Amino acid sequence: MTKPLTIEAFEEASERVKDVTLPTELVYSDYYSQSNGAKVYLKPENMQRTGAYKVRGAYYKISTMAPKDREKGLITASAGNHAQGVAYAAKKFGVKAVIVMPTTTPLIKVNRTKALGAEVVLHGDVYDEACDHALKLADEKGYTFIHPFDDPTVATGQGTIAMEIIKDLPLIDLILVPVGGGGLATGVSTLTKLLNPKVKVIGVEPEGAACLTASFKNHKVTTVEHINTIADGTAVQTPGKIIFPYLEKYLDDVITVPDAELVQAFLDMVENHKMVVENSGLLSVAALSHLDVKGKRVACVLSGGNMDVITMSSVVRQGLILRDRIFTVSVLLPDRPGELTRVSSVIAKTGGNVVRLEHNQFVSINRQDAVELKITMESFGTEHKHQIIESLTKNGFAPKVVPTLLS
């Protein structure tokens, strides 16, 4: 076996993964380029057969294993994308795959993993608990365990992304890569620095699962106690211990992004690029607003696109609310005919679109004096929202902005 995380291993891996990957050539983003004064390119790994980059590392790892180790059966733990990568690769080699997934894993990832022929075991609330259970089953059943990120060979497979980015864009200045346990960041940063040390690689974590940030701060592998993020694919409490030295050596920095920005990034991606990218995969583009990238050539790795419809619906609605494209006001009206028509007429004249009304007759003991009307409406954004509110105010309605609750 070629020694992992070397130029020779990356070259070998780049050839092997062609058996299971689709070409994901860089996509130039007019939207992100104009927004950031840079030349921003997207690496759409969400378009892979399994919906994520993870098939690269899984397949390369399994391809390097002795046949006897493959034939024992393979087991891993994953929040979904590595699960599908292992399941797909195992199917290619005709061997059994058992996947332990957290109980919080989106249904689409569970079903797709099963569809690839793997046996799925749901255990624990977070990846780390699922991983402990997978190791226990590996010991009991004699399966060969494939770690989703803390394995230099797996990381080598993931690093083939950097080979393709630099081939497509030799003069690149910066690569932004999502971070969960650190396998992708290890592969991408190591190969990038081997090929061109001048290119910067920055890892991006969700604020609610910033284990690598904590580890860099403490200069040792650190476990964060609580995980709270919508980016389920990067909801990891502890980065890889084996790969941590590579991250310290080759990753230029790691930054964090709040969940609210991932929600808004989802809207941007759908509206401007017509692509579905899961929350973890959006970390790289959400990071652009946290960095000075003016005049630079930047590649953002979109690590995956496996998002279930229910989550997608929730993210879209929350994104519209955060962008003031949906908002709610409360007004007090006399309980008499014609008042609702008067309010709706003002909204219509300013271009608002009413989507929901709530009429509360019990806000006052004197209904003739006032009843409360909550109006949820669509606007074109913050400026338009203020125009609607100003118009209602001028017409004597004294609107009060209240939280929007969409069922």
Which one, of 254, 380, 405, 243, lies nearest residue 325 by Cα? 380
Rounded Cα gap, residues 279 and 229, in angstroms? 9
Q: CA quadruple 144, 149, 151, 155: dihedral positive or negative? A: positive
H/E segment holding residue 302: strand 297-302
Which one, of 290, 301, 172, lies nearest residue 234 by Cα? 301
Interacting residues of 393 by C-beta distance below 8 A, sequence separation 6+: 399
pTM above 0.85, yes or no: yes
**Tens digit of pLDDT at every position of the chain (407 positions):** 689 999 999 999 999 999 999 999 999 999 999 999 999 999 999 999 999 999 999 999 999 999 999 999 999 998 778 999 999 999 999 999 999 999 988 787 888 899 999 999 999 988 889 999 999 999 999 999 999 999 999 999 999 999 999 999 999 999 999 999 999 999 999 999 999 999 999 999 999 999 999 999 999 999 999 999 999 889 999 999 999 999 999 999 999 999 999 999 999 999 999 999 999 999 999 999 999 999 999 999 999 998 888 888 889 999 999 999 999 999 988 877 888 889 999 999 999 999 999 887 766 555 556 788 999 999 999 999 999 999 999 999 999 999 998 66
Is 78 known to be catalytic?
no
Catalytic residue among 54, 109, 193, 385: 54
Q: Can you tell me whether residue 250 is helix, strand or coil?
A: helix
Interacting residues of 18 by C-beta distance below 8 A, sequence separation 6+: none
Rounded Cα gap, residues 59 and 252, in angstroms? 28
Which tokens is 131 given?
Answer: 């991983």
DSSP, res 3:
P
Rounded Cα gap, residues 71 and 82, in angstroms? 20
Is 54 known to be catalytic?
yes
* Identity of residue 286: A
Rounded Cα gap, residues 186 and 156, in angstroms? 8
Catalytic residue among 14, 29, 78, 303: 303
Burial 175-185 (b: 16+ CB within 10 A, else e): bbbbbbbbbbb
Structural domains of the chain ordered from first start = 7-50+156-319 (3.40.50.1100), 55-145 (3.40.50.1100), 325-402 (3.30.70.260)
In order, the DSSP letters of 310-337 are HHHHHHHHHHHHHTTSEEEEEEEE-SST
Tokens 């980065």 belong to residue:
239
Which one, of 54, 35, 44, lies nearest residue 165 by Cα? 44
